[in-house]
A and B are shown apart, each in its own frame.
Chain A
Amino acid sequence: MSVTSSDSPAASELAASPPRRRRKLQAWEWAPYVFISPFFILFLVFGLFPLLFSMWLAFQTWDPSTGLQGMEWVGIENFKFVLEDDWFQKSLYNTFWIAIVSGLPQHLVAIPLAYFAHTYLRKHRNAVVGVYFLPFITSTVAIALVWNSLFSRDFGVINMALTSIGNFSIAGLHPLAWLFPTTNVDWAQPQYTKWMISSLVFWRYVGWNTVLYLSALQTIPRDLYEAATIDGASSRQQFWHITVPLLRPMMFFAVTLTIIGNLQLFEEPFIITGGTGGINQAGKTAAMHMYNTAFVDSDFGTASAVAWILFVIIGLMTWANNKFFAQKD
């Protein structure tokens, strides 16, 4: 090194000056750090450490019941295994399927719903919004159990309703039998599992999105609408040319949340399928695959690799979403 500490003018000056008396730190100087420290301590313990540990773990093979000394370095072996694993691919396909089928309608329904609540329900808006929001704050486990009993093959309300329409008869004819089932549908069959989960996810988060859009609607200045009305714009034109463009930032935010949430989907499919993913793993999501790898197969290394691959995929999706919404500006 060419520059040593003694060459530095600042350092030599420091060395030359007589030792300054250390000033005692005043309470107002250190207190703020104490006050914000809980966050940093908690973040270090529950945020950063697990993050680094799981990254380390992704390159190891480890059955946790053997203790920490049971770890063995395997390099990128875990990543190779996961990417070639047909179970992982299948669970990823399921995840995307559910994410799109439950996620897209959420926004297509939530925006008009929020617009309707904003424009026409001035007085009762809060009550209605509360009702929308209720599924979001209810326990997932409870909801999934309710869903299971609604869709129960023999005793479920859904089957009861569908078959009673299907078997509806006038003068011995069944006019609706071609459209509705006449016998109970077994919703546990693989072709229905993903629909069942998607319907639950849709119902659960549509209210959340509505609330997001509603809050964005409330920030749109009213004079824009007043000016448009004076110019003779119809309410449909106002919706398309004022509301939708000004909602775009919120759309970006809400869609991002949906992408992240849906790609991490776990509790709903886990409980609906009893933890197995259902027949032929039709409802097994990537997060469930990760859980099973860790806790059924006791393979925490591979599970960590799944987690990081999932992280990269979520990152890519969010980036694509960002591009999509940014392009139009």
Chain B
Amino acid sequence: MTVTHRLTRIAFGLSFGLAFACAQAATTVTVASFPSFDEAVKAAIPLYKKAHPDVEIKLVSLAFGDHHNAMTTALATGTNLPDVMAVEVGFIGKFAESGGLEDLSKAPYSAMQYQNKFAKFTFPQATGGVGNVAAMPADIGPGALFYRKDLLEKAGISEGDLTKSWDSFLESGKKLKAASGTYLLSNAVDLKDIYIRTGLKDGEGIYFDSKGKVLVNSPRFAKAFELAKAARTAGLDAKIAAWSPEWSEGFKRNQVATQMMGAWLAGHFAQWLAPNTKGNWRSAQLPNGGFASWGGSFYAIPKAAANKKEAWEFIKFMTLNKDMQIEAFRKLDAFPALIEAQNDPFLDQPIEFLGGQKARQLWKVAADKIPAVAVDKFDGTAQDIVNAELDKVLEQNKDIKTALADAQTQIEKRVRRKK
């Protein structure tokens, strides 16, 4: 009896000890992300385990909208927060000003020392109102023009015709339409979207200046609306909403000749949007010598996270490690924010989908010239309002001046009362 008794006690003690040891050994770092950005984490897990056998990485991935909604509500209650939070550029302004994320510029992180290692516009994006750095940049989206070389050649248009100026861009569209009935753009809204992002100075925002003043009723927006209107009037756009089934159908059936978006679009094209058009696409800089940032993703640590130290190690691994950045570039065409990774020979490799073009070098040139645009927590609201007004201009012939004035009033109305 006593022997068994003692044995059980030893067994108990052992198992307790083991459990304790295990708990010590395996710290679990939870990473919350969204597709397809989560692929980078999936790729990193085995590599990270090799270097840090004592850390377990748990990936929680939700759909894009759901992820950011879940993070918003988690920040609201301060519970259920992951250790590492992926944030898309559209939400970084909101989250940076929330005060729910660790200020990475302070010790023990002191992230400012890494600032010069990243594309210059990324840190300002992640900086909140009180100078806090809310997140580390992982990938960026240099704006690029993608065009169908074969369709252009048929219409006798060169790349230079497309990119020389906005006028020549629209003129090429008219030639294209006349030659084969192909649309220049999927949607005139794209012209507006690119134009309002180009020609900004460092520190200036797309919709708001650094003091929160609304910038919508301005020549920049007026010109953007005029361009969109001109394209619509000339019948150059297919009136297709991006990411709709018609959108990819339009590319697959050779009905749309160009698309302006982030460089990452090449990957989407090749994988699912229009794999059958492989070899026919090329990439170029945006028309009229513009450079714009289109998308991008970050990693942040919530203030209420349980394993901040390990989380920071993991974030450094994902963002400061050149090999990991290249891996993400290779896997999901996420253009690295890390300059060291941008200088990797991988950028010299030809892209098969773009007919062997070495387009990554082109995107790097763009990335260097993109201004450090400030983001605002109300960018999403402003974008919705501007798009609604542009719809009225395009569909109901609303006067551009009135539309912009209305947009300005609407934004001020919906934003000021919340400040």
User: Is B386 an interface residue when CB atoms closer than 8 A count as contact?
Assistant: no
In the complex, A298→B379 CA distance in Å?
11
User: Is B69 an interface residue when CB atoms closer than 8 A count as contact?
Assistant: yes
Interface residues on A, range: 20 to 34
User: Is B6 an interface residue when CB atoms closer than 8 A count as contact?
Assistant: no
Question: Are the CB atoms of B246 and A155 closer together than 8 Å?
Answer: yes
A65-B98 contact, Cβ under 8 Å, with A295-B72, A296-B384:
yes
| Chain B residues within an 8 Å CB radius of A280 | 388, 391-392, 395-396
User: Is A68 an interface residue when CB atoms closer than 8 A count as contact?
Assistant: yes
| Chain A residues within an 8 Å CB radius of B255 | 154
Identify B76's interface contact among A68, A274, A299, CB under 8 A: A68
Which of B211-219, B237-245, B260-268, B308-316 binds A? B237-245
Question: Are the CB atoms of A81 and B76 closer together than 8 Å?
Answer: no
Count of A-B contacts judged by CB separation below 8 Å = 88
| Chain B residues within an 8 Å CB radius of A186 | 239
Question: Are the CB atoms of A67 and B381 closer together than 8 Å?
Answer: no
* Proximity bits, A264-290, B CB within 8 Å = 1, else 0: 000000000010100111000000000
Interface residues on B, range: 35 or more
Question: Are the CB atoms of A292 and B384 closer together than 8 Å?
Answer: yes
User: Is A26 an interface residue when CB atoms closer than 8 A count as contact?
Assistant: no
The interface residues of chain B, by DSSP majority, are classed as helix
Question: Are the CB atoms of B414 and A297 closer together than 8 Å?
Answer: yes
| Chain A residues within an 8 Å CB radius of B377 | 63, 298
In the complex, A283→B384 CA distance in Å?
15
In the complex, A302→B244 CA distance in Å?
31
**Which residue of chain A is the closest to B389 with respect to CB atoms?**
A280
**Which residue of chain B is the closest to A291 with respect to CB atoms?**
B69
| Chain A residues within an 8 Å CB radius of B75 | 64-67
Question: Are the CB atoms of A296 and B98 closer together than 8 Å?
Answer: no
A residues near B, CB below 8 A?
A: 61, 63-68, 70, 77, 81, 148-149, 152-155, 186, 188-190, 274, 276, 279-281, 292, 295-300
**4 A-B pairs closest in CB distance:** A64-B76, A65-B98, A65-B75, A279-B391
A-B pairs with beta carbons under 8 Å apart, 28 shown: A63-B98, A63-B418, A65-B94, A65-B100, A66-B75, A66-B100, A67-B76, A67-B78, A67-B100, A68-B76, A77-B417, A81-B417, A152-B246, A153-B246, A154-B250, A186-B239, A189-B395, A274-B241, A276-B384, A276-B388, A279-B391, A280-B388, A280-B392, A280-B395, A295-B69, A297-B378, A298-B377, A298-B418
